Amino acid sequence: MPKRQRKVWETAEAVKAKDHMASFLDLPQEAVCDWPRLTLIGDTRLLLENHRGVVIYESELLRVNVTLGQLEIRGKDLKLKVLRSDVIAVEGSIKSIRFLGSTY
Amino acid sequence: MRERDWQAFFKNYVVIEVEGNNREEFLNAALHQGLIFWDIIQGPGPKFRAKIPVASFARLRPVARKTRCHVRLLDKRGPIFWWQRVRTRKTFLAGAIFFLLALLFLSNFVWAVDVLPRGELKKVDPNLLKAIAAEVGLRAGAWKGNLDVRALEHEILIRVPELAWVGVSFQGTRACIEVVEKLFPSPEEGGSTPAHIVAAKNGIISEILVLAGQPRVKAGDTVRQGDILISGLILPLQQEKPPGQEGQPEPPILPRLVRARGIVRARVWYEAEGQFPREEIKETLTGQHSTSLILRAPDREYVLKGSPEPPYTSFRREDKVIRLPAWRSFTFPVELIIVTYFETSVERRWLSREEAINRAKEEALLALRQGLPDRAKVLGERITGITEEPGLVRVKVLLEVEEDIGQIINLKEPPSQAGN
């Protein structure tokens, strides 16, 4: 994949400012900052909105690009129930969810 | 947002297998194209399986070529593919269509005719009714479309004069003929055969009203059971002969025979005995209750909830049985019973003598009153005897009632003899 060009409004300062504004105006941060939104149901279902592409997909490891960096999901028998350009729904037994190195 | 499993049932989709080392790249490129996937499962080795809509399968080819992945079509699922498969099996399809058509065709016939009498049939034979219905056109094998229900009802009603009402209805392929018989007045009330009115009971006449016949008793008379009250035999009056015509032969006047009619009310007495225990046991609910669930199979019972034994020393039990609806002659062998035990407290009370006597009297009168004929008037009641046993009171009650004691008895003797 080609390296994404960092825009002015994606610099660390800009994101911080947007974060502040979102809290101040009581707006949903995932919409203002383009952050991922994760909905975890038990340890079997994970709904991930606002993703930026799959990096690694194996049955025990799933790594997904998101605005803040990468999201690593480890588990067993991971299955992508739905895969769309904006949404990933993961099913399986999820052991851990971890953020890897912010790109900022 | 999510694809539901049941929605996939109606969708046309294909199952693909993607093999290659750049599978993630392949996925991202496809997503970039606006494609969607569901149920992606990592297979053994460097491949995965996924489901995609039929239309997007062709769009995968360039993506696969670019990312050097190999896409294989595993299965086609959905109504369209099912239909394609079925279409190739012409005979099977023809059989299925034939079956549906045959079912539709055969359900348009009457297969059975049943007579459902409302109340007891006394004059009409159900089999005769069936034969008549068959004559009119309502028979097993008749085409339902040709039957006019109103016309059939009318026709049957005309042909069977004993019927008051006929209703024809269809329950699927079964035709039901509901019938109501005419109620004819009983021969006792109507008819014209000569008859007496006799006393059905002993009593003292209080009132007599003669509509036809000759009265033989008057108010105040005491009659025994079987005495003639109103005679159907009208004897000629003893006419006083006018002077000067004595000795002349009199034209014999024969007695006339009529059917006696009238109302004879008399005072009659009934006697009855009642008893009541001095000790009264009174049960009152305490408000405590407990419920058990029992599953009953043919050979044993399983207690699902609650205790199998009643938890109270004195209680009232209410059972509610839930069974699955029976189909034809098959009844489901297992049933659920909800048992509710209501706790009661028992109270014993020693009745006073007067109270016990009163209760015994009520008991005796209750039984008597139920046996009284319609339009009987109770004139009075009296206690005639009281016997007391330990813990028990016996009371004899006399009930005085005014009622119609007339009973119609047909005259058996032939009219020719009556004249002699």
Q: Secondary structure of chain B in the HEC alphabet?
A: CCCCHHHHHHCCEEEEEEECCCHHHHHHHHHHCCCCEEEEEECCCCEEEEEEEHHHHHHHHHHHHHHCCEEEEEEEECHHHHHHHHHHCHHHHHHHHHHHHHHHHHCCECCEEEEEECCCCCCCCHHHHHHHHHHHCCCCCCEHHHCCHHHHHHHHHHHCCCEEEEEEEEECCEEEEEEEECCCCCCCCCCCCCEEEEECCCEEEEEEEEEECEECCCCCCEECCCCEEEECEECCCCCCCCCCCCCCCCCCCCCEECECEEEEEEEEEEEEEEEEECEEEEEEEEEEEEEEEEEECCCCEEEEECCCCCCCCCEEEEEEEEECCCECCECCCCEEEEEEEEEEEEEEEECCHHHHHHHHHHHHHHHHHHHCCCCCEEEEEEEEEEEEECCEEEEEEEEEEEEECEEEEECCCCHHHHCC
| Same domain? B378 vs B407 | yes
Q: Say if B37 is an interface residue toward chain A (CB within 8 Å).
A: yes
| Same domain? A47 vs A75 | yes
Average pLDDT over residues B390-406: 86
d(C-alpha B100, C-alpha B121), whole Å: 41
Residue B1's pLDDT is what? 43
Q: Which residues of B touch A87 (CB under 8 A)?
A: 1
Residue A63's pLDDT is what? 93
Residue B4's pLDDT is what? 60
| Same domain? B153 vs B51 | no
Residue B419's pLDDT is what? 39
| Same domain? A79 vs A48 | yes
In three-state secondary structure terms, A67 is: coil
| Same domain? B334 vs B212 | no
Residue B417's pLDDT is what? 41
In three-state secondary structure terms, A60 is: coil
| Same domain? A43 vs A16 | no
Q: Which residues of B touch A81 (CB under 8 A)?
A: 2-3, 38-39
| Same domain? B317 vs B374 | no
Residue B185's pLDDT is what? 64
Is the pLDDT confidence value at B382 over 80? yes
ipTM of the complex: 0.78
Residue B227's pLDDT is what? 87
Which is higher by pLDDT, B232 or B3?
A: B232
Query: CATH no. for residue A52?
Result: 2.60.40.2000
Is the pLDDT confidence value at B278 over 90? no
**What does the block give as tokens for A17?**
């400012």
Dihedral Cα B254, B260, B261, B263, nearest 10 deg: 110
pLDDT, averaged across chain B: 84
Which residue's entry shows tokens 């005495």? Answer: B227
pLDDT band at residue B96 under the 50/70/90 scheme: very high
Q: Could you tell me which of B363, B158, B197 has the C-alpha nearest to residue B280?
A: B363
Residue B172's pLDDT is what? 85
| Same domain? B291 vs B339 | yes
Query: CATH no. for residue B160?
Result: 3.10.20.310
DSSP character for A68?
T
**B129-148 pLDDT, tens per residue?**
889 989 888 888 888 888 88
In three-state secondary structure terms, A43 is: coil
pLDDT band at residue B190 under the 50/70/90 scheme: low
Is the pLDDT confidence value at B265 over 80? yes
Q: Which residues pair with B378 in a beta bridge?
A: B401
Q: Which of A69-78, B46-55, B375-384 has the lowest mean pLDDT?
A: B375-384
| Same domain? A29 vs A69 | no
Q: Which residues pair with B213 in a beta bridge?
A: none
Provide the number of structural domains found in chain B: 4
Asked if the structure places residue B297 within a domain, the reply is: yes
Q: Say if A40 is an interface residue toward chain B (CB within 8 Å).
A: no
Are B94 and B74 within 8 A, CB to CB? no
Amino acid letter, residue B330? F
pLDDT band at residue A74 under the 50/70/90 scheme: very high
| Same domain? A58 vs A99 | yes
Asked if the structure places residue B242 within a domain, the reply is: no
Q: Which residues of A touch B28 (CB under 8 A)?
A: 1, 53-54
| Same domain? B118 vs B175 | yes
Chosen from A47, A48, A49, A80 to mutate, greatest number of chain B CBs within 10 A: A80
Average pLDDT over residues B242-261: 69
Q: State phi, psi for A15 to the nearest 5 degrees.
A: -65, -40
What kind and span of H or E run contains A46?
A: strand A45-49
| Same domain? A50 vs A93 | yes
State percent of chain B over pLDDT 70: 90
Helix B149-159 / helix B126-136 crossing angle, nearest 10 deg: 130
Residue B228 belongs to what domain range? 200-235+254-278+351-420
Average pLDDT over residues B359-387: 83
Asked if the structure places residue B127 within a domain, the reply is: yes
From the CA of B27, how many Å to the nearest CA of chain A? 7
Dihedral Cα B248, B254, B260, B263, nearest 10 deg: 10
Average pLDDT over residues B239-261: 68
Residue B304's pLDDT is what? 84
Residue B374's pLDDT is what? 76
Beta strands across the sheet bearing B195-199: B214-215, B228-231, B195-199, B406-410
Buried b (16+ CB within 10 A) or exposed e, B12-24: bbbebebbbebbb
| Same domain? B286 vs B396 | no
pLDDT band at residue B415 under the 50/70/90 scheme: very low
Q: Which residues of B touch A59 (CB under 8 A)?
A: 41-42
Residue B374 has a CB neighbour count (10 Å cut-off) of 6
Average pLDDT over residues A14-37: 79
**What does the block give as tokens for B58?**
């062709």
Asked whether the beta carbons of residue B2 and residue A80 sit closer than 8 angstroms, the reply is: no
From the CA of B60, how many Å to the nearest CA of chain A? 14
d(C-alpha A12, C-alpha A49), whole Å: 22
| Same domain? B379 vs B399 | yes
Average pLDDT over residues B249-270: 81
Is the pLDDT confidence value at B327 over 90? no
CA angle B32, B33, B34 (to 5 degrees): 90
| Same domain? A42 vs A87 | yes
Q: Which of A55, A59, A80 sits opposite B37 (nearest CB)?
A: A80
Average pLDDT over residues B235-256: 65
Which is higher by pLDDT, B146 or A75?
A: A75
pLDDT band at residue B249 under the 50/70/90 scheme: low
| Same domain? A88 vs A58 | yes
Asked if the structure places residue B188 within a domain, the reply is: no
Residue A2 belongs to what domain range? 1-33
Q: Which residues of A touch B1 (CB under 8 A)?
A: 47, 87
Q: Which of B332, B349, B366 is the last residue of a domain?
A: B349
Asked whether the beta carbons of residue B23 and residue A57 sit closer than 8 angstroms, the reply is: yes
| Same domain? B273 vs B283 | no
Average pLDDT over residues A30-45: 87
Asked if the structure places residue B191 within a domain, the reply is: no
| Same domain? A64 vs A88 | yes
| Same domain? B294 vs B342 | yes
Residue B322's pLDDT is what? 85
Residue B412's pLDDT is what? 65
pLDDT, averaged across chain A: 84
Q: Say if B2 is an interface residue toward chain A (CB within 8 Å).
A: yes
Average pLDDT over residues B233-262: 70
| Same domain? A57 vs A89 | yes
pLDDT band at residue B72 under the 50/70/90 scheme: very high
**What does the block give as tokens for A68?**
């803040």
Q: Which of B234-248, B259-273, B377-391 has the lowest mean pLDDT?
A: B234-248
Q: Say if A47 is an interface residue toward chain B (CB within 8 Å).
A: yes
d(C-alpha B203, C-alpha B222), whole Å: 6
